[in-house]
């Protein structure tokens, strides 16, 4: 028999998401509960395995008329949450356009095309062009590791590899440093190179990147274009609880 006073016991409750009732459990964020129930709220920096960062802001919703990141706002009974609205989706589209021009994202030639969450989310939001002038920053490609490579041109600073390395691999291989336009992903090694780090191909941090920053060598285009994750179904239909 379960103990209702356990800290991890589910606390029954519901909130309204775009007019539909969603159940939530103890300590769940709006995004966690919505995802578990099969509702799609666009996001890039959140992953169910790790704590929320609230850095990309794509998951911003309106809660009782006030905006907040759904990955960090805790669910509560009686909340009226709006997500799939023209206003919020237009804001998400603008954020995506800014991400695309801030880096170098050449989808047709990218190994991650079809498996890229940034690309798939842009499709879901109806983004049909970058809109803003591209920055074309000069960013490094680090191929010093025998099994992995690091292409910083595609980094969106989601921090997932940082959290995965710290929380899952217990290595702290990655960090984010710098300010403004010079903010970048850093490698924790004596030389600052990936080849001198403790990263292994089997590490969670080596397999969690939502774009094409961390790639495995000698595996390029093993899965043909057209047969990849988001070629089969849009990202909006690949949520935990089922398609909505």
Q: Report pLDDT digits (tens) over 18-36.
A: 999 999 999 999 999 999 9
Provide the pLDDT for residue 241. Answer: 67
Which of 31, 63, 84 lies at the terminal end of a domain, its last residue?
84
Which CATH number is 203's domain given?
A: 3.30.70.20
pTM assigned to the model: 0.92
Same domain, 75 and 111: no
Cβ(43)–Cβ(31) below 8 Å: yes
Residues 6+ apart with CB under 8 A from 79: 15, 16, 30, 63, 64
- Tell me the CA distances in angstroms from 197 to 79, 165, 187, 189, one per residue in order: 46, 12, 7, 5
Same domain for 115 and 60, yes or no, is no
167 and 111 together in one domain: yes
Please indicate, yes or no, whether residues 77 and 100 belong to a single structural domain of this protein: no
pLDDT mean values, one per 10 residues, the chain (244 residues): 33 91 95 97 97 95 98 96 98 97 94 97 94 93 98 97 98 96 95 98 98 96 94 94 50
Residue 69 pairs in a beta bridge with 60
Same domain as 195, residue 172 = yes
**Is position 180 within any domain?**
yes
Indicate whether 21 and 115 sit together in one domain: no
Angle between helices 86-102 and 117-124 (to 10 degrees): 140
Within this chain, do residues 61 and 96 fall inside the same structural domain, yes or no? no
- Mode of pairing for the β-strands spanning 148-151 and 214-216: antiparallel
Q: Domain with 77 in it: what CATH number?
A: 3.10.20.740
CB atoms within 10 A of CB 159: 19
What is each CA distance from 243 to 15, 86, 219, in whole angstroms? 19, 21, 30
Do 185 and 106 share a structural domain? yes
Residues 142 and 190 in one domain: yes
Range of the domain at 105: 90-218
């Amino acid at each position: 028999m379960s103990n209702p006073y356990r800290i991890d016991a589910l606390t029954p409750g519901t909130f309204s998401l775009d007019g539909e009732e969603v159940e939530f459990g103890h300590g769940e964020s709006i995004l966690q509960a919505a995802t578990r129930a099969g509702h799609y709220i666009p996001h890039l920096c959140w992953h169910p395995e790790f704590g929320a960062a609230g850095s990309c802001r794509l998951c911003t919703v309106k809660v009782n008329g006030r905006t907040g990141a759904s990955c960090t706002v805790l669910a509560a009974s009686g909340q009226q949450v709006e997500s799939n609205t023209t206003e919020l989706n237009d804001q998400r589209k603008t954020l995506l356009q800014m991400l695309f021009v801030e880096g170098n994202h050449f989808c047709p030639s990218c190994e991650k095309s079809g498996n890229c969450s940034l690309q798939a989310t842009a499709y879901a939001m109806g983004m049909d062009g970058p809109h803003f002038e591209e920055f074309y920053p000069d960013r490094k490609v680090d191929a010093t590791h025998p099994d992995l490579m690091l292409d910083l041109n595609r980094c969106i600073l989601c921090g997932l590899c940082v959290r995965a390395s710290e929380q899952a691999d217990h290595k702290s291989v990655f960090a984010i440093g710098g300010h403004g336009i010079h903010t970048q992903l850093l490698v924790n090694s004596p030389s600052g190179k990936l080849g001198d780090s403790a990263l292994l191909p089997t590490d969670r941090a080596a397999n969690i990147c939502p774009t094409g920053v961390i790639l495995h060598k000698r595996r390029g285009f093993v899965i043909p274009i057209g047969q990849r994750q988001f070629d089969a179904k849009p990202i909006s239909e690949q949520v935990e609880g089922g398609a909505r």
